[in-house]
Amino acid sequence: MSLIQNILAVIVVLGVLVTFHEFGHFWVARRCGVKVLRFSVGFGKPFWSRVDRHGTEFAVAAIPLGGYVKMLDEREAPVPADQLDQAFNRKSVWQRIAIVAAGPLANFLLAIVAYWLVFVVGTTTVAPWIGSVTPDSPASEAGLSRGDEITAIQGDAVRSWEDISLKLVSMIGFSGELSVETRAEGRQAPREHALAVNDFLVRQDPPQPLESLGITPWQPDFPAVLGQIVAGGSAEQAGLAPGDEMLAIDGEAVDDWMHFVNLVRANPGTPLTLDYLRDGERRQTTLTPGRNALETGVEIGYIGAGVEPVSWPEEMQREIRYGPIEAVGQAVARTGDMTLLTLDAIRKMLVGLISPSNLSGPITIAQISGDSARAGFEAFVGFLAYLSISLAVLNLLPIPVLDGGHLLYYFVEVVRGRPVSEHAQAIGLRIGLAMVGTLMLMALYFDLMRLW
């Protein structure tokens, strides 16, 4: 069921992103008087299509991993004399720039609309209270302590752990004093701390910003009660069910959920005598955790079960909501921040500050799409917005075969006063295909490594 949900979620996500992107090209092309021959969502043979009064075929194809807008163009096929004025290649260079740039701009607009919707509907998030501080860590040496609420990073206000993580990830490679502002419980006056860091998060895979600083978020105590059971897992094989409370493993009393998890992780493949409580009745079963090998080569145990959710204290919750007008500015600002973060991540990957293994391909996108869909409206729409921004930024990179490569040729044409030669474009096409193909293979490789 999870696999089916992931597939459906990624089809929806890619379908929306591709449709908006290609509609941007299509809409501006029509405004510029270019005849559009086909608007296709997906590749391959269409399983649905229709032709409008302008002669444009709208199609949905079987392979939902992209799409395209095919325009009348003398470089691709002969054009009747009475339609030459509708050919893309006959339009002015500025019209061609507008048509090509419209796709990525449509993705930026989609992100703004998505964030606007999230801000208007509103979200409830967890206040960034510190649960514990690791001894001798940067946070400990700077004086941060349990119960403090983080209110700003580097002078920028933060309201949730998500805000903090995004801000810290943007600081990858930073050396010096990281400014963290906190407010102690029951006090109004903030306190500023200077955390000494050196090459912050450089080449961490994946980046662990809070752990690197020695900060653990506060969370309520989780009793060792099962909330979800994975089909076919060790927990199901042992006869466990949602609502069962774990009491003891091999005679050792279970204190809470994390204690139970640690006992399971420490015994991969080992039959364990488990005492548990169901409907007030104490029962016993044999539980044999599965084996899972970490990248370090160490094996840990797992049983395919999740904890029963607990409610967070009301004082720990923060509702973030804006009016329709104010939400526009917030959505534009969030889109701008995420765009800069994406560009900065690309730059840092090129100079070696971020590991290339953070590249994600279709498998990871499918997993995250499914997870965000199951997590609820806000998570799914937020992920859609972020992916739309990523698609826009990547398409604007000056790589031939991408929109950014075409824009590069057209701006060179503006400067030179004549088009880039077909020979130069052909060479660029081969280079661009090699670069994009290499990136796709790398992303797929790291996808498979994460699965493995």
- Residues with a known catalytic role: 22
* Interatomic CA distance for residues 380 and 123, integer angstroms: 12
Residues in the chain, total: 452
Other beta carbons less than 10 A from residue 383's beta carbon: 20
Which residues are registered as beta bridge partners of 404?
A: none
Beta carbons of 443 and 129 less than 8 angstroms apart: no
Burial of 63 (0-12, 13-18, 19+ CB in 10 A): exposed
Burial of 116 (0-12, 13-18, 19+ CB in 10 A): buried
**CA nearest neighbour of 360 among 390, 380, 331, 382:** 390
Place of tokens 């590249």: 359
Other beta carbons less than 10 A from residue 251's beta carbon: 7
* Interatomic CA distance for residues 413 and 133, integer angstroms: 58
To 5 degrees, how large is the angle CA 230–CA 232–CA 235?
A: 60
